């Protein structure tokens, strides 16, 4: 990635030319805030696999378990007629068995008192699978039960229904916003989002609109991108521990917990404002 990449840069006011629009953006030049082409219709299939996890992709999308999980079995439906009063957070990784369920269940345990609903999904989900044993061990150590969890494939509807989408890596964020452009200003890599809300003030929340607490915090974070120096991808991305040693799961925890603590504190502080 080039030195001038800025994941918080403003989207340009004018759209690129048709010829430019047809070019596939390279990882080096991709601007997450740039205007993205919309699709003629909203796809009902899963999203594209990000570049950091080749080989999983859509091979699970036609599985019966995937279809059931897309309707919310095990995690709650994204089409619930009674939205959570505090808002909805969606956590995204690749398989939805290691990083995203760990983040999801840690957030859910800390934000339940605020009426915030937390779910997760994967861009190339191992649909119907339980949490990976490596993440189960970490959750058990924190006193969090993960036995009811089942992985599910990410859909555009899930992104559009969420008030905030947190991803394990910037590659996941690119995949989400390219397939679901309406998620552009509410989708962040977890570590980037933590940087944006670390110094969030009550006034920042008062001056933004949103249908829920989570939506207002997400909007306030998006407005602060020009105030925060962007990390490198290496610092912003959470390692994928799938089928790796306990040491890698420990590294995932080490990378994740500070960001989670910051996000949880910001949401609780904003709820009291």
At 156 the pLDDT is: 97
23 contacts: CB under 8 Å, gap ≥ 6: none
Distances (CA, A) of 51 to 27, 172, 188, 217, 236: 9, 8, 17, 29, 15
At 207 the pLDDT is: 86
At 84 the pLDDT is: 77
Torsions phi, psi of 176, nearest 5? -65, -50
Q: DSSP string of 66-120?
A: HHHHHTTTTT--TT-SS--TTEEEEEEESSSSSHHHHHHHHHHHHHGGGTEEEEE
Q: For the stretch 177-216, what's the b/e string if a residue is b when 16 or more beta carbons lie within 10 angstroms of its beta carbon?
A: bbbbbebbbbbbbbbbbbbbbbebeeebbeeeebebbbbb
Q: Note whether 259 and 190 are within 8 A (CB).
A: yes
Backbone Cα Rg of the chain: 18
Token duo for residue 158 = 């899930």
Report yes or no on whether pTM surpasses 0.85.
no
193 contacts: CB under 8 Å, gap ≥ 6: 164, 166, 221, 259, 263
- Report the candidate in 99, 94, 189 with the shortest Cα–Cα distance to residue 138: 99
Distances (CA, A) of 229 to 7, 188, 192, 225, 262: 9, 15, 10, 8, 17
At 199 the pLDDT is: 94
Segment 104-137, tens digit of pLDDT:
999 999 999 999 999 999 999 999 999 999 999 9
Cα-Cα-Cα-Cα dihedral sign, residues 153, 157, 158, 164: positive
Cα-Cα-Cα-Cα dihedral sign, residues 216, 73, 59, 131: positive
Tally of CB atoms within 10 A around 71:
11
pLDDT under 50: residue ranges of the chain = 1-3, 5, 10-45, 48-73, 77-78, 81-82
At 76 the pLDDT is: 57
At 40 the pLDDT is: 33
Token duo for residue 205 = 């929340």
Largest CA distance in the chain: 54
């Amino acid at each position: 990635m080039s030195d001038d990449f800025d994941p918080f840069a403003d989207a340009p006011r004018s759209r690129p030319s048709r010829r430019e629009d047809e070019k596939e953006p390279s990882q080096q030049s991709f601007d997450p805030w740039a205007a993205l082409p919309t699709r003629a219709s909203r796809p009902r299939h899963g999203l594209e696999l990000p570049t950091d996890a080749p080989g999983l992709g859509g091979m699970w999308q036609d599985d019966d378990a995937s279809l059931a999980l897309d309707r919310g079995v095990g995690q709650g439906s994204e089409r619930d007629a009674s939205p959570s009063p505090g808002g909805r957070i969606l956590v995204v990784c690749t398989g939805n068995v290691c990083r995203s369920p760990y983040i999801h269940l840690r957030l859910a345990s800390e934000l339940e008192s605020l009426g915030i609903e937390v779910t997760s999904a994967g861009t190339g989900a191992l649909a119907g699978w339980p949490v990976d044993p490596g993440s189960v061990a970490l959750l058990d150590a924190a006193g969090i039960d993960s036995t009811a969890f089942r992985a599910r494939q990410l859909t555009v509807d899930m992104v559009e229904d969420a008030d905030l989408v947190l991803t394990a890596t910037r590659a996941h964020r690119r995949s989400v916003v390219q397939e679901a452009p309406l998620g552009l200003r509410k989708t962040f890599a977890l570590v980037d989002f933590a940087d944006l809300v670390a110094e969030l003030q009550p006034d920042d929340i008062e001056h933004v609109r949103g249908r829920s607490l989570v939506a207002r915090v997400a909007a306030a974070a998006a407005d602060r991108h020009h105030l925060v120096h962007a990390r490198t991808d290496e610092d912003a991305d959470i390692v994928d521990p799938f089928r790796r040693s306990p040491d890698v799961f420990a590294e995932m925890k080490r990378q994740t917990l500070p960001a989670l603590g910051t996000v949880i504190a910001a949401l609780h502080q904003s709820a009291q404002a």
